[in-house]
């Protein structure tokens, strides 16, 4: 699925009003919510001119298969602002990996740990997550302290990521919001570059 995010959000906001009994449910997100970093890991270098929001799961077969393509495109384009939205949908192991990766940002190791988790053989049990952390140079005792200190904020961000993904109608993982366009599904390097180029052209119109 490929569609402008603005049209999707307009459809959401035009839907039925929330009933009194539904107040505990997450509110439908606005367009701006998709670009709010919150507690999500982000790469934002000076001069970045396009935001890519990336929804993924470390145990997702498609995310892992196309990880090298996504990583190559991201690394080659320093003008991308990238928001990493961990969206664990494959059980507790996915959640544990997401929480650990998000906590690694506090020691500036998110990118290395993200890569290590994506190439770590499955299943991502506790031993595999720790092995990936070692490969990425993550200080494990500090990671545990950061999880204890920031765990509630990390969990809240994961819940928000899932709310954003579900509201957008993303069928699973991976999913991308490139500029103002939602692209649901895996992208190889060539297609991802084309989507990024199209988004930059659209911004100039």
Under the banding of pLDDT at 50, 70 and 90, the label for residue 63 is: very high
Instruction: Please give the backbone phi and psi of residue 167, each rounded to the nearest 5 degrees, phi first.
Output: -65, -35
Look at residue 201 and tell me whether its pLDDT is greater than 50.
yes
71 part of a folded domain: yes
8 part of a folded domain: no
26 part of a folded domain: no
Under the banding of pLDDT at 50, 70 and 90, the label for residue 6 is: low
Look at residue 3 and tell me whether its pLDDT is greater than 90.
no
Encode pLDDT of 149-199 as tens digits.
Answer: 999 999 999 999 999 999 999 989 999 999 999 999 999 999 999 999 999
Number of domains in the chain: 1
| Strand ranges (E), the chain | 2-4, 42-43, 50-56, 80-86, 175-178, 181-184
Count CB neighbours of 133 within 10 A: 22
Long-range contacts of 191-199, Cβ-Cβ distance < 8 Å, separation of 24 or more: 192/69, 192/70, 192/73, 193/73, 196/50, 196/52, 196/73, 196/77, 196/80, 199/50
89 part of a folded domain: yes
Model pTM score: 0.90
Which CATH number fits the domain that encloses residue 161?
3.40.30.10
162 part of a folded domain: yes
153 part of a folded domain: yes
Q: Check residue 159 and give its pLDDT.
A: 97
Look at residue 75 and tell me whether its pLDDT is greater than 80.
yes
62, two tokens: 């498609």
9 part of a folded domain: no
Range of the domain at 182: 37-204
199 part of a folded domain: yes
Mean pLDDT lowest among 17-31, 123-137, 141-155, 160-174: 17-31
128, two tokens: 């595999």
């Amino acid at each position: 699925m490929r569609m402008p995010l603005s049209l999707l959000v307009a459809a959401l906001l035009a839907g039925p009003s929330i009933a009194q009994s539904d107040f505990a449910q997450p509110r439908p997100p606005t367009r701006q919510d998709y670009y709010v970093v919150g507690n999500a890991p982000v790469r934002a270098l000076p001069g970045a001119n396009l935001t890519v929001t990336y929804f993924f799961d470390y145990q997702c077969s498609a995310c892992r298969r196309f990880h090298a393509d996504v990583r190559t495109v991201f690394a080659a384009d320093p003008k991308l602002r990238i928001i990493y939205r961990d969206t664990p949908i494959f059980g507790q192991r996915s959640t544990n990996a997401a929480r650990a990766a998000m906590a690694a940002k506090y020691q500036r190791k998110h990118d290395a740990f993200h890569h290590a988790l994506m190439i770590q053989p499955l299943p991502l049990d506790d031993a595999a997550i720790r092995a990936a952390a070692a490969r990425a140079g993550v200080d494990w005792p500090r990671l545990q302290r950061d999880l204890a200190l920031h765990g509630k904020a990390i969990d809240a961000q994961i819940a928000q990521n899932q709310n954003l993904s579900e509201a957008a109608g993303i069928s699973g993982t991976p999913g991308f919001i490139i500029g103002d366009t939602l692209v649901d599904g895996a992208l190889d390097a060539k297609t991802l570059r084309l989507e990024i180029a199209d988004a930059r052209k659209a911004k100039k119109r």
